[in-house]
Amino acid sequence: MPEPVNVWEYEQLAAERLEPGVHGYFAGGAGDERTLRENVAAFSQWRLRPRVLVDVSEVTAATTVLGAELSLPVLVAPVAFQRLVDPDGEVAMARAAAAAGTVMCLSAIASSRPSELAAECPAAPRWFQLYCFRDRGVTRALIDEAVESGFDAIALTVDAPRAGRRERDLRTGFEIPGELGAPAVAAAIGAERSVSIQEVFSLVDASLGWDDFGELAGSCSLPVVLKGVHTGEDARLAVQHGAAGIVVSNHGGRQLDGVPAALEMLPEVVAAVEGRCEVLMDGGIRRGTDVVTALALGARAVLAGRAPLWGLAVGGEAGALRVLQILRSEVELALTLLGCPSPCAVRVEHVRGGPRLDP
């Protein structure tokens, strides 16, 4: 078969190749999947406004996030249990991200531990996504492993005190195979067996408050990014309590159905932060023009989870790398035609429209 030429084609091939239960686990969202669909559809509500007679003889997609140099403004978002789609799972994804010149964020409920990823991919830039557990010793053990394994930042997810109701899994009866489990959490709690995703969420601290976050951010030797912010009010609180960055995210539409698309929430959060920390977003990224639209609305960069995962499902490490290369190429082309030599040159004046598109 011809090689896919865009993310949509990788997504279609992955749907054909994966067992329905596995595909539904990664592709599905919560409830009626309104938010899942709107994450993608929101980008079509904005129009790009190119400027002409700008010197674009040399264009780069390179940028920095938390001071780290990246070859494109796209990080790989945390996605659990990647060995469901490829035998090398998160290790292959980390290699692909490193080859593409960007950061991979490892999920706390990944099928690989932080120490394993560091051993297999020592040069790969990486963040660790974390849930806060009622037993702070477990939380601290996970942070310590990430620090000792050379991770560069912690991304604390705060929009999942309970797992959302994902009805595709209920229809297919899909469950994570017992042999996968969540090895990082198992090690942190001292379990000598695999720990299921249900057990992980039973340990999450649903009483977590802003003072708890401030204490965690203040005591951590790595920058702590708050992932799962929906509102300007919470963005201001995040900055006040020591967030090094914010990820505007609705968990890929997998938690509370009916919340706005991530892109729709982005301008409110950017305005509330007032430049005091970097703002990123995830949800619905399929094209380089999506990335540039998010930059115009104030994002420093975006995270993409499903897009590189479909590449991994179709072609392993090489497939994941190819998806990231496609996105970088599309970003470079969009910047060139928009009249922006680099991501830093993109401004809000380069877009128009929004939830109610101007006529």
Residues in a beta bridge with 281: 248, 302
Q: Shortest CA distance to 30 belongs to which of 335, 283, 210? A: 283
350 annotated active-site:
no
Q: Where do the domains of the chain lie, and which CATH numbers do they carry?
A: 7-339 (3.20.20.70)
* The pLDDT of residue 34 is above 50: yes
* The pLDDT of residue 37 is above 50: yes
Instruction: Kindly state the tokens that stand for 85.
Output: 């789609």
Which percentage of the chain shows pLDDT scores above 70? Answer: 98
> Active site residue: 23, 241, 251, 350, which one?
251
* The pLDDT of residue 86 is above 60: yes
| Tokens 């290699």, located at residue | 95
Average pLDDT of 308-331?
98
* Contact status, residue 159 vs residue 147, Cβ threshold 8 Å: no
AA letter at 273:
V
- Which residues, in sequence order, are CB contacts of 201 under 8 Å at separation 6+? 160, 162, 163
What global pTM score does this model have?
Answer: 0.95
pLDDT in tens, 142-163: 999 999 999 999 999 999 999 9
* The pLDDT of residue 359 is above 70: no
Q: Shortest CA distance to 196 belongs to which of 295, 111, 115? A: 111
* Separation CA 316–CA 113 (nearest Å): 19
Give residue 355's pLDDT band: very low, low, confident or very high (50, 70, 90): low
* Contact status, residue 81 vs residue 176, Cβ threshold 8 Å: yes
- Which residues, in sequence order, are CB contacts of 218 under 8 Å at separation 6+? 242
* The pLDDT of residue 164 is above 60: yes
Quote the pLDDT of residue 192: 79
SS3 of the chain:
CCCCCCHHHHHHHHHHHCCHHHHHHHHCCCCCCHHHHHHHHHHHHEEECCCCCCCCCCCCCCEEECCEEECCCEEECCCCCHHHCCCCHHHHHHHHHHHHCCCEEECCCCCCCHHHHHHHCCCCCEEEEECCECCHHHHHHHHHHHHHCCCCEEEEECCCCCCCCCHHHHHHCCCCCCCCCCHHHHHHHCCCCCCCHHHHHHHECCCCCHHHHHHHHHHCCCCEEEEEECCHHHHHHHHHCCCCEEEECCHHHCCCCCCCCHHHHHHHHHHHHCCCCEEEEECCCCCHHHHHHHHHCCCCEEEECHHHHHHHHHHHHHHHHHHHHHHHHHHHHHHHHHCCCCHHHCCHHHEEECCCCCC
* The pLDDT of residue 1 is above 70: no
* Separation CA 219–CA 194 (nearest Å): 29
Mean pLDDT of the chain: 95
pLDDT in tens, 237-251: 999 999 999 999 999
pLDDT in tens, 177-233: 988 889 999 999 998 788 888 889 899 999 999 999 999 999 999 999 999 999 999
Quote the pLDDT of residue 9: 98
pLDDT in tens, 42-57: 999 999 999 999 999 9
| Tokens 């990246």, located at residue | 70
Which percentage of the chain shows pLDDT scores above 90? Answer: 92
Give residue 356's pLDDT band: very low, low, confident or very high (50, 70, 90): low
* Contact status, residue 232 vs residue 268, Cβ threshold 8 Å: yes
Q: Shortest CA distance to 157 belongs to which of 138, 188, 176, 133? A: 133
* Contact status, residue 338 vs residue 332, Cβ threshold 8 Å: no
Give residue 358's pLDDT band: very low, low, confident or very high (50, 70, 90): very low
Quote the pLDDT of residue 317: 98
